[in-house]
Amino acid sequence: RKRYLDRDIARLREVFSDTYLRQPAAVENAMGIHLSALLGQFEAACTAADALAEAAIAHFERHPDADIITSFPGLGMLTGARVLAEIGDDRSRFTQARGLKAFAGSAPITRASGKKTVVLHRHIKNRRLAAVGPIWALASLRASPGARRHFDTRRAAGDWNHQAQRHLFNKFLGQLHHCLHTSQHYDEHVAFPPPLQLAA
Do 134 and 160 have their domain in common?
yes
Do 93 and 158 have their domain in common?
yes
Do 41 and 72 have their domain in common?
no
Question: Cα dihedral sign for 36, 38, 41, 47?
Answer: negative
Which of 41, 59, 77 is the C-terminal boundary of a domain? 59
Do 34 and 71 have their domain in common?
no
Q: Is residue 119 helix, strand or coil?
A: strand
Do 35 and 85 have their domain in common?
no
Print pLDDT tens along the chain (200 aa): 677 788 888 888 888 888 877 889 999 999 999 999 999 999 999 999 999 999 999 999 999 999 999 999 999 999 999 999 999 999 999 999 999 999 998 887 777 777 776 656 667 889 999 999 999 999 999 999 999 999 999 999 999 999 999 999 999 999 999 999 999 999 999 999 987 654 44
Which of 29, 59, 89 is the C-terminal boundary of a domain? 59
pTM (2 d.p.): 0.77
Do 77 and 23 have their domain in common?
no
> Structural domain of residue 168, as residue ranges?
64-190
Report pLDDT for 142. 93
| Residue 198 is assigned to a structural domain of this protein | no
Do 48 and 124 have their domain in common?
no
Do 21 and 73 have their domain in common?
no
Provide the domain count of the chain: 2
